[in-house]
Amino acid sequence: MFDDILINFGLNVSEYHIRPFGSGLINYTYKISGANHSYILQQINVAVFKRPDHIDSNLVLIKEYFDKHNPGYLFVAPLKNQKGKSIIQAADGKFYRLFPFIEGSHTVNFLQDTKEAYSAAVQFGRFTRLLNHFDISKLEYTLPDFHNLKLRVTQFEQALKTAEPRKLEQAAKEVKAANDHINILHTYNLFTTNNEIPLRVIHHDTKINNVLFDKDQNALCIVDLDTVMPGYYLSDVGDMMRTYLSPANEEEKDLDKIIIRTDFFRAIYKGYMSEMSNILTETEKQYFTFSGKLMIYMQGLRFLTDFLNNDIYYGTQYEGHNLIRAKNQFKLLEGYINAEPVFREIIAGVDKELLTTANGI
């Protein structure tokens, strides 16, 4: 069914084998394997990304910037077809891009080693650092209000008004947790309303399977760039905290498995700050630990809101799935807040290490 698409990119259909690829939940992805070259074909989910052209224009601009200022940086941009277009609309009306497949690379879905966390954090930090002088006003918002906590709280409050009494009763503990931690919104409002920290070019979706690794588990580059747009660096760091610190992910039903691995916090901090320490403002640095609370709380709210709204956004596999996810995230948030004193000690120690290295001592 992809014959016309491959022909559009000048590929001989008979020379390639096509199969589904990866574990992404948003876009549909396929590997196009050939004797000499392999590619990744991706169909953009327009139910989520309403303007595929905005994704395309962002990536074109960023690639041009890297080609000019950092040509050696591995930026996995979509390829152009025979007409010079990097996004095409097929006969069925769907939008597709073709990417080069990075040979010798692989992804991981679960972090087992702090080396992986450190290396991934370096890559996300490097991406933002290298784009420090990029004019962010040129970028489109591919997912407007994606990490807008104020909006997520408003949606939660609306859901409370319309939810079935039975669901409100089932989620009473999580509703209380959401309200008990509303101070996270107050802090968010403080730095957004007062413009305390700048917008930067960030990835917005830093889960570990958006990083390509080599055979030695060194991160090569970041992928799945559809959500690249202006945002606060806290989104990238916070999403790493949310998805790297616990050995159990957001689907885990056994809440006793939701624990905080402080050595992974250290790996994230050291990796990211090795790239961004001289870029971030002093005010931005003060919010580093807050980033984890921000993203964990926001995701917990979103799962809880969707449960109260009868699961209209996130796919579910069983009754109460989104409530379990919400319980999971609020347990993670509790553990994260309890670990903050340790986080502060780690930050002080790593800052001393980085300063010593910078001074050549």
Across 205-218, average pLDDT: 95
- Whether residue 139 is predicted with pLDDT greater than 70 in this model: the reply is yes
pLDDT bracket for residue 8 (50, 70, 90): confident
Question: Which amino acid is present at 33?
Answer: S
pLDDT tens across 270-313, in order? 999 999 999 999 999 999 999 999 999 999 999 999 999 999 88
pLDDT bracket for residue 1 (50, 70, 90): low
Pick from 48, 66, 44, 68: which is nearest to 56 by CA? 44
Q: CB–CB of 125/203 below 8 Å?
A: no
Q: Which helix (H) or strand (E) holds 100?
A: strand 95-100
339 Cβ neighbours under 8 A, 6+ residues apart: 260, 262, 265
Rg value, the chain, Cα: 21
Half-sphere exposure of 331 (CA within 13 A, CB side): 19
pLDDT of amino acid 145: 94
Task: Give bridge partners of residue 98 from the DSSP assignment.
Answer: 41
Q: Which range is least confidently modeled, 104-108, 174-178, 258-262?
A: 104-108
Backbone angles phi, psi at 179, to 5 degrees: -75, -35
Pick from 67, 61, 131: which is nearest to 276 by CA? 131
Task: Give bridge partners of residue 17 from the DSSP assignment.
Answer: 33
**Higher-confidence position of 91 and 327:** 327
Rounded to an integer, what distance in angstroms lies between the CA atom of residue 270 and that of residue 356? 13
pLDDT of amino acid 25: 47
pTM: 0.92
In which residue are the tokens 């320490």 written?
A: 277
Pick from 192, 183, 185, 301: which is nearest to 242 by CA? 301
Across 192-213, average pLDDT: 94
